[in-house]
């Protein structure tokens, strides 16, 4: 309390200006009141399910129960170190990295190809765009149901048609060395059409007259692509890479439906690990610690996307 005393003095001596400041602030606050009331419904739900959830992840990660019915006790960073020491988690992280790169690169590459080929709008290109976009619309669970048959050993679609060409075929979803790649095929099929839309939008920004001028100067298709189109698409690339990476962490329903992380954890991804800890092992502490680590790992990416999006939205 002794610290507060000197600070109280200037208030006593200059009460009038200080009051003025408070009064001005309250009038500004009163003027802001309608805005706060309008924001209130959104803020309540954001507070409960976004910021509050963040806070609860941090808290839950610091506590542990010995058995599901036992009282919680504070364990500090034990959960975090337990998760980091869990080979299933580190395995899931490695799988998720392979999965992220192995889905983002091909689907973005294909998306760019599709966009370049279908940039001109006519009946044929519209139909092809629609065909490539169809997988985006359907639930991942439905895609999994279809691909479960496609990958079915012996009688499945893939073995039925490709089996005539290749003598030995792997068990696509049953072989630990192959299953993760089979899962990746579904993601690429499902997302390429989505990213194509952003490249189509980005290509609109490429000035037609510059392209023509380059052509008159003797630049072939490759050089026009390399020196005019690619630089123009840079922001699109950045944006699509962010979305593809987020998708690689969050869009993993097919693992739940098709492989349950198996065979021998070869398709276990981080979100599935979190789900297993929470729902199958009732270990909220460990699940929260894994969530926390995932969120932290996405921080670099989020900072990047934050800036991109703030630019896109144009600030407040």
Partner 1 sequence: MKLMDWFTRDAPLATRNEITPKLGFLLTLLLAIVWLVPFLWMVVATLRPASDGINAMAELMPSVKPTLDNIRDAWEIGDFPRYTLNTTLICAGILLVQFVTITLAGFAFARLNFVGKTPIFYLFLMQLMLVPVLLIVPNLSLVAQLGLYDTLTGVMMPFFASAFGTFLMRQAFEAIPTELEDAALIDGASLLQRIRHIYVPLSMPSFSAFAIISVTSHWNDFLWPLMVINSPDKRPLTVGLSVFTKTAEGTQAWGTIAAGTLMVIGPLLVTFLIFQKRFISSFVTSGIK
State how far the Cα of 306 lies from the Cα of 315, in Å rounded to an integer.
Answer: 11
Residue recorded with tokens 């610290």:
3
Of residues 15, 77, 141, 238, which one binds partner 1 by CB under 8 A? 141
Reference 270, options 95, 18, 16, 85; nearest CA is 95
Of residues 136, 169, 178, 206, which one binds partner 1 by CB under 8 A? 136
Q: How long is the chain?
A: 316
- Asked whether position 309 contacts partner 1 by CB under 8 A, the answer is yes
Does residue 115 contact residue 199 with C-beta atoms inside 8 Å? Answer: yes
Of residues 45, 81, 90, 281, which one binds partner 1 by CB under 8 A? 45
Cα separation of the two ends of the chain: 41
Which residue's CB is nearer to partner 1, number 27 or number 264? 27
- Asked whether position 282 contacts partner 1 by CB under 8 A, the answer is no
- Asked whether position 312 contacts partner 1 by CB under 8 A, the answer is yes
Of residues 18, 23, 24, 32, which one binds partner 1 by CB under 8 A? 32
Stretch that binds partner 1, among 81-89, 91-99, 101-109, 293-301 (CB under 8 A): 293-301
- Asked whether position 15 contacts partner 1 by CB under 8 A, the answer is no
- Asked whether position 275 contacts partner 1 by CB under 8 A, the answer is yes
State how far the Cα of 214 lies from the Cα of 220, in Å rounded to an integer.
Answer: 8
Instruction: Report 50-89 residues binding partner 1 (CB under 8 A).
Output: 50-54, 56-57, 60
Residue recorded with tokens 């962010």:
242
Measured in degrees and rounded to the nearest 5, phi and psi for residue 74 equal: -70, 125
Instruction: Report 147-186 residues binding partner 1 (CB under 8 A).
Output: 147-150, 152, 155-157, 159-161
Token digits of residue 143: 């895609």
Of residues 19, 22, 105, 130, which one binds partner 1 by CB under 8 A? 130
Which residue's CB is nearer to partner 1, number 12 or number 216? 216
- Asked whether position 288 contacts partner 1 by CB under 8 A, the answer is yes
Does residue 80 contact residue 287 with C-beta atoms inside 8 Å? Answer: no
- Asked whether position 128 contacts partner 1 by CB under 8 A, the answer is yes
Which residue's CB is nearer to partner 1, number 5 or number 30? 30
Token digits of residue 14: 């200059």
- Asked whether position 274 contacts partner 1 by CB under 8 A, the answer is yes
Total of residues contacting partner 1 (CB under 8 A): 107
The packing angle between helices 284-313 and 52-62, to 10°, is 150
Of residues 62, 143, 182, 228, which one binds partner 1 by CB under 8 A? 143
Reference 89, options 244, 284, 287; nearest CA is 287
Of residues 257, 262, 263, 265, which one binds partner 1 by CB under 8 A? 257
State how far the Cα of 268 lies from the Cα of 287, in Å rounded to an integer.
Answer: 14
State how far the Cα of 288 lies from the Cα of 296, in Å rounded to an integer.
Answer: 12
Tell me how far, at minimum, the Cβ of 216 lies from partner 1, in Å.
Answer: 8
Tell me how far, at minimum, the Cβ of 81 lies from partner 1, in Å.
Answer: 19
Cis omega before residue 179 (within 30°)? Answer: no
């Amino acid at each position: 309390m002794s610290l507060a005393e000197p600070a109280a003095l200037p208030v006593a001596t200059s009460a009038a200006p200080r009051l003025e400041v408070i009064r001005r602030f309250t009038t500004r606050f009163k003027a802001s009141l309608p805005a706060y009331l309008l924001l209130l419904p959104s803020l309540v739900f954001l507070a409960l399910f976004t910021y509050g959830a963040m806070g609860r992840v941090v808290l839950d990660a610091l506590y542990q129960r010995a058995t599901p019915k036992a009282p919680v006790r504070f364990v500090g960073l034990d959960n975090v170190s337990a998760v980091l020491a869990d080979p299933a988690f580190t395995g899931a992280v490695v799988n998720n990295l392979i999965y992220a790169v192995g889905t983002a690169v091909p689907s973005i590459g294909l998306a760019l190809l599709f966009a370049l080929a279908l940039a001109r709008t006519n009946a044929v290109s519209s139909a092809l765009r629609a065909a490539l976009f169809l997988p985006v619309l359907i639930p991942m669970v439905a895609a999994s149901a279809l691909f479960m048959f496609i990958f079915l050993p012996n009688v499945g679609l893939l073995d039925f048609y490709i089996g005539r060409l290749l003598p030995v075929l792997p068990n696509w979803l049953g072989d630990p060395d192959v299953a993760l790649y089979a899962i990746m095929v579904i993601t690429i099929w499902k997302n390429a059409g989505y990213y194509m839309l952003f490249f189509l939008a980005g290509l609109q920004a490429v000035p037609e007259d510059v392209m023509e001028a380059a052509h008159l100067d003797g630049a072939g298709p490759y050089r026009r692509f390399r020196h005019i189109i690619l630089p123009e698409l840079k922001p699109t690339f950045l944006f699509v890479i962010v979305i593809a990476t987020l998708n690689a962490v969050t869009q993993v329903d097919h693992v739940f439906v098709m492989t349950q992380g198996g065979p021998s954890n070869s398709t276990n991804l981080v979100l599935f690990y979190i789900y297993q800890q929470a729902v199958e092992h009732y270990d909220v502490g460990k699940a929260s610690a894994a969530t926390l680590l995932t969120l932290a790992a996405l921080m670099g990416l989020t900072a990047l996307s934050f800036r991109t999006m703030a630019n896109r939205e144009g600030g407040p």
